[in-house]
Amino acid sequence: MTTSFTPASALIGGSLIGLASVLLMLTHGRIAGVTGILSGALFSGGPGKAWRIIFLIGAIAAPALIYYTTGHPMEFSVPVPNWALVAGGLIVGVGVFYGSGCTSGHGICGVSRLSPRSLVATGTFMASTSLTVFIVRHII
């Protein structure tokens, strides 16, 4: 299935993701990594739990809010069967736990800080994702 190259929305969307990272650092003094925020919201207690849950609620509300205000649903299609979503979901969960982060925390925030750990993590997952997609789409 093809998708079209959308440079304008990519740049606007990417800049907003960056803006969110900067604002979280400015206000809370923390890295906007969804892996860390999600595991903090679900698995840890303490005073940091509330803002993490609220951040996630805001993130989930965004596409719904865009839909109700503009009438445009978020572009979305999943060219993958449900069993693969279950298997891949488990694999992602294990990987981001041990890798201590994902595309937002390592890929955006960490790379921006030139953190050596994040540069290694990002290089590694970009390579293994490319390899996986190649194997799934062109070999299997």
Partner 1 sequence: MQIVMALLIGLIFGTGISISGMGNPAKVLNFFDFAGTWDPSLALVMASGVIVTAIGFRLVLARPAPALDKAFNLPTNRAIDKRLVVGSAIFGVGWGITGFCPGGAIPALGSDNFEVVVFVISMVAGMAGAMAMQLRSARKAIVSKN
The interface with partner 1 within residues 44-63 (CB under 8 A) comprises 50-52, 54-63
Smallest gap, in angstroms, from Cβ of residue 70 to partner 1?
11
The dihedral built from the CA positions of residue 64, 67, 70 and 74, taken in this order, carries a sign that is: positive
Nearer to partner 1, 45 or 117 (CB): 117
**Interface with partner 1, residue 1, by CB under 8 A:** yes
Smallest gap, in angstroms, from Cβ of residue 71 to partner 1?
14
Q: Report the site for partner 1 in 97-116 (rule: CB under 8 A).
A: 97-100, 102-104, 106-113, 115-116
**Interface with partner 1, residue 140, by CB under 8 A:** no
36-51 burial code (b ≥16 CB/10 A, e <16): bbbbbbeeeeeeeeeb
d(C-alpha 47, C-alpha 92), whole Å: 27
The closest alpha carbon to 124, from 93, 103, 138, 94, belongs to 103
Show Cβ contacts of residue 78 under 8 Å, excluding neighbours closer than 6 positions. 85
Smallest gap, in angstroms, from Cβ of residue 99 to partner 1?
3
Q: Report the site for partner 1 in 25-44 (rule: CB under 8 A).
A: 25-35, 38-39, 42-43
**Interface with partner 1, residue 75, by CB under 8 A:** yes
**Interface with partner 1, residue 9, by CB under 8 A:** yes
d(C-alpha 29, C-alpha 23), whole Å: 9
